[in-house]
Amino acid sequence: MTVRVYTHAACLDHNTGAGHAEHPGRLRAVLDALHASALPIEWQDAPLAARDDILCVHHAALVDRVLAGPAGSEIEWLDPDTALSPGTPEAALRAAGATIAAADWVLAGNDRRAFCAVRPPGHHAEANMAMGFCLFDNIAIAAAHALANGIERIAIADFDVHHGNGTQAIFEHQPRVLFVDSHQSPLYPGSGDVDETGVGNITNAPYPPLAGAQAVRMLWEEVLIPRIDAFKPQLLLVSAGFDAHREDPLAQGLLEARDFAWLTERLVEVAERHARGRIVSTLEGGYALPALADSARAHVTALCGQR
Mind telling me the catalytic residues? 124
Helix (H, G, I), strand (E, B) or coil at 118: coil
Q: Which of 117, 114, 116, 119 is nearest to 134 (CA)?
A: 119
Instruction: State the sign of the Cα–Cα–Cα–Cα dihedral 139, 102, 96, 13.
Output: positive
Q: Which of 154, 149, 158, 86 is nearest to 122 (CA)?
A: 158
* Gap between the Cα atoms of 174 and 200, Å rounded: 9
Instruction: Find all residues with CB under 8 Å of 153, minimum gap 6, and list them.
Output: 176, 178, 231, 232, 233, 234, 235
Instruction: Find all residues with CB under 8 Å of 150, minimum gap 6, and list them.
Output: none
Q: Please calculate the CA angle 237-227-273 and round it to the nearest 5 degrees.
A: 65
- The dihedral over CA atoms of 104, 110, 115, 119, expressed in degrees to the nearest 10, equals 10
Query: Residue 178: beta bridge partners?
Result: 155
- How does strand 3-7 pair with strand 113-116? parallel
The alpha carbon of residue 46 and the mean position of all alpha carbons in its chain are separated, in whole angstroms, by 15
* Gap between the Cα atoms of 275 and 199, Å rounded: 22
| Contact of 224 with 157, CB cutoff 8 Å | yes
End-to-end CA distance of the chain: 12
- How does strand 235-240 pair with strand 202-207? unpaired
